[in-house]
A and B are shown apart, each in its own frame.
Chain A
């Protein structure tokens, strides 16, 4: 299928100074293209150029088979709607009025709304679930409600493409989710194309059909979320040095505490994760084990532990792993056990627990935190 909007050898920038050169991206109808990348990399500049708010320095933007620079304002306004980061001043306007401004390209000389226009506005408000506050003054509603209404405004412009610049910034998680749900619904039911920039990698990964990575004033990579969201690549794209990013879960972990481990955590099936993070927060280096690499605990333990004893997925830990764990326990001088029930596959962990008990090395987390704090004082 043909791209609905695409850029050809596009160069963008401000005041004639090129910022990003030779941009080649495109999106089809019914798809979401998301721009990700560090702050200041030029995502907004690309978006502003694509919606003709900025002069193109070279190349073209082709929308529905035609260059946008050849279109009249009116033609473009019937095809393309925007939700930008600029705060809109809507003094003495109700939310309904703001949404209704989306009908602008379709109204007559004086901008009077027909009854059909009103229906379309009402429908757009229903679509974003904003009926309850449609009559309120626009200045008095929350940021989350505001973004939704701006999306409703874009919807009632009946566009074929919507461009959004960081639509979820400043929203709480509930509103982020709801906004993107509505967006996805619009893409599905109206077959529109969406180009947007997002800061939330986890959301970008889940909602996008195509992802464009912008970094250091160039388009670094384009592809499906599966191709883009890999631990190493995201680390590199954002220059993450002080922690780690788990691309599968879209979660960030802080960097591990350096130093020799002070305790050994017996974990598994997610039971260890809260403790790993608590230890990291308290600045206590730790060792973890024995984990199968398909264990829920494994990614976090790998990101945060100083030493980790693990075995390949679905393998039962062998004596080698157990011996290494015992050695670590010796050097740590304390053990915390998060596991309640032991089964066939983690007999070795049960053995480790027994070993720790026999040498009275087993402690509760609180005791450990206390003793570390005491030592510091």
Chain B
């Protein structure tokens, strides 16, 4: 790599880490109770002070969740864009998040009415089943339709169908928990516990490492299937792994925070325009960091913009993410003329 590229690389990563650090502090600092920075540091290191409970039991789990889940979403988006060779693919647009939401709601309502509590891993499993269901439909469409717009339209339609059924089920389920369910189905990072954080870390971190180790075949796959195969990539296995990884990541997000829109599509593009590369060795960690930063920022806005009323996270991510998607489409249009 040339010197200029290396400089860009260092500045990019340094910038992302700095933004992450600042946003973590800001997120602890801001809220209905304002906590100054010196007190945050004291609480973090000594666990004493009057706001310890707020920081330690409410804000920190929420921040770490936003970090992990945001990273997971962006990574899932990057994998889907690679897989479908489609720049506006993402877990929400392709209806994968909504599929996860549907099966998750059905499972929750089913188990709740039977009086059985569902653990975190159970939730992820249900979401994963839903994600795979939607993914199956999307794959079927992608086999028939080679045009990128058709794939997206198909995905959006699947998303609508899943959301409609979810709404239907939620409306007619009679349980106190429905209020929670309704809240969750809009997407939110609120109410995370340390137990939740532990489970999502156990899913997301291995998935991140595994994806990073897949950088080499991903880079081959970016040249196209024919060349990837010639380079020694077992395409069948590789594609299955890619599908499973992106589904696990988006299922994990949906299980804890509900469907969150546009992070998966927009973040990889923002990262591309910062780093000016498509190399997965850089894209994988950078997308993860970028997703974390993006979600921390959006969550901050969701919590504080109209405090004490909290916005759903998706309404904030959409405001920032949707314009990016439009820009990407316009730019590609220009390139193809």
Contact = CB atoms under 8 A, between A and B. Distances in A.
A66 interface: no
Nearest to B283: A92
Interface stretch (B49-57, B61-69, B139-147, B215-223): B215-223
Nearest to A103: B231
Contacts, number: 71
Interface string A143-180: 00000000000000100000000000000000000000
A91 B229 contact: no
B122 interface: no
Interface in A54-90: 72-74, 76-78, 80-82, 84, 86-90
B233 interface: yes
Contact of B226 (A53, A97, A135, A157): A53
B220 to A, nearest CB: 6
A111 B232 contact: no
Contact of A109 (B85, B213, B335): B213
A73 B227 contact: no
A346 B281 CA distance: 76
B277 interface: yes
Interface of A is mostly: loop
B333 interface: no
Given A77-B231, A111-B216, A89 B222 contact: yes
B88 to A, nearest CB: 14
Contacts of B234: 73
A235 B232 CA distance: 41
Contact of B216 (A77, A109, A139): A109
Given A88-B224, A101-B220, A101-B223, A80 B278 contact: no
B276 interface: yes
Given A82-B226, A88-B224, A111-B281, A101 B231 contact: yes
B32 interface: no
B34 interface: no
B272 interface: yes
B334 interface: no
Nearest to A92: B278
B229 A52 contact: yes
Nearest to A165: B226
Contact of A110 (B213, B227, B232): B213
Contacts of A135: 2
Interface residues of A, number: 34
Interface string B113-147: 00000000000000000000000000000000000
Nearest to B2: A135
A92 B272 contact: yes
Contacts of A90: 222-223
B46 interface: no
A53 B220 contact: no
B230 interface: yes
A81 B232 CA distance: 10
B236 to A, nearest CB: 11
Interface string B1-37: 0100000000000000000000000000000000000
A355 B233 CA distance: 78
B216 A73 contact: no
Nearest to A78: B232
A93 interface: yes
A88 B221 CA distance: 10
A107 interface: yes
Contact of A80 (B213, B224, B230, B276): B230
A53 B229 CA distance: 7
A275 interface: no
B140 to A, nearest CB: 18
B230 A74 contact: no
Interface string A43-58: 0000000011100000
Interface in B270-312: 272, 276-279, 281
Contacts of B272: 92
Interface string A19-57: 000000000000000000000000000000001110000
A157 B232 CA distance: 11
Given A105-B232, A112-B281, 7 more contacts: A82-B230, A86-B227, A88-B223, A89-B222, A92-B276, A101-B220, A110-B213
Interface of B: 2, 85, 213, 215-216, 219-220, 222-224, 226-227, 229-234, 272, 276-279, 281, 335
21 contacts: A53-B230, A72-B232, A73-B229, A73-B233, A73-B234, A81-B230, A82-B226, A82-B227, A84-B226, A86-B224, A89-B223, A92-B276, A92-B277, A104-B220, A109-B213, A110-B215, A110-B216, A111-B216, A111-B281, A112-B281, A157-B231
| 9 smallest beta-carbon distances between A and B, as pairs | A77-B232, A111-B216, A73-B232, A104-B231, A74-B232, A92-B278, A82-B230, A88-B223, A86-B226
